Structure 1
């Protein structure tokens, strides 16, 4: 009979058992659920309609590949969730995604085929948000109630309390650790690609994620 050793229960370069890391990942998925497609009647929805038409024209003129077009449109829900993480406002998040898509379209020739399009788009979105002067804050900004609605959707009171505790725990993390954790654990970016988005070294990304996980497990009492 095979007996698991401590080293087998730990992920490479991580100090927490795999089941703890997985639990943190599941909790983050619950706190930041997938974002629905944009309503065609909204400004973002109208931008997407025009973008799809422009991409079709660009494909016909061999300016972009079909793979680029399909991947760009497919990335929109992830962009909306990433923007929501940063702004805590559905309206501001959609404005940020709109700016990101327009920037990506303007600079489509700069994208290097074979690289991660999502990481490229995240970089554009993050830089746009920083340039707007809207950095992460400790408090939850909830202008239109969207974030509160996401927290109150589950029926179980205990579950709601758990999500609120997780949000509070995230707010207690240093900004750089929180952002890195969400990119790697929630969005699934490899360390190397998250490092490109954040403008740091892969080793720094690994360190931030490890420390953020350790801190969350302590605050939430996950073992």
Structure 2
């Protein structure tokens, strides 16, 4: 008989012992079968590194054990999400679009007249009430409201915004995001 034939015969003969060892490690028959199969594939692939005359069973058990611990480490880093619930919650709109939009907004804000820029920053970004902003700017509340209104209109025109639909992801990204959350 050839060395390859002996190897194949001894490999097949070790399967019951490998399976018993795999079941004892994994505590699950299906996972044990997968583990034995992976062990046999690796052993067959690496049979040239096996030294004939040495203990094949010990070599196979070492491969199985190493494969088991490799899978355990891998599973420790994985998150089970078979229904896609976790993936749906972590899907986000690509950040590069937001960065570009923010750059455009900053440029448009810089082009506003100083009094309008000051008013919209106080109301929109700093969270002051119209009365507080009027006190800060030492002017009437109506003047602040007018400046904010003109600033908003100017920003909408400069940025080409016609309504709420112009904010957030585009229609394609919104569909993808919506389908992953479902």
What is the TM-score of this pair, normalised by structure 1? 0.31
Larger gyration radius, structure 1 or structure 2: 2
Higher helix share: 2
What is the TM-score of this pair, normalised by structure 2? 0.38
